[in-house]
């Protein structure tokens, strides 16, 4: 999978800990960065296809990504 989108990641150079909150409720800071990121969609699709288990990717927490995967399975 082409990962050139990473070069445009708004989270580059930021403290990675922001993107690994202890709970979904604490994911606000990471989501705020993702919301302004020009590659949010590519990032989310990467995380979904790679089954990333931890962290906020593409503005979605692990739980939210699991929900997206379930929804896509239902509509496939």
Residues that bind ligand SF4 (CB under 6 A): 9-11, 19, 33-34, 37, 39-40, 43, 56-59
Q: How far is the CB of 16 from ligand SF4 (least distance, A)?
A: 10
> Is the Cβ–Cβ distance between 19 and 56 less than 8 Å?
yes
Tell me how far, at minimum, the Cβ of 59 lies from ligand SF4, in Å.
6
CA distance 33 to 18: 10
Q: How far is the CB of 72 from ligand SF4 (least distance, A)?
A: 19
């Amino acid at each position: 999978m082409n990962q050139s989108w990473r070069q445009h990641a708004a989270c580059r150079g930021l403290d990675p800990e922001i993107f690994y909150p202890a709970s979904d409720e604490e994911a606000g800071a990471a989501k705020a960065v993702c919301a302004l990121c020009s590659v949010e969609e590519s990032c989310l699709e990467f995380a979904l296809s790679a089954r990333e288990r931890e962290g906020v990717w593409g503005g979605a927490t692990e739980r939210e990504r699991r929900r997206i995967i379930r929804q896509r399975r239902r509509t496939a």
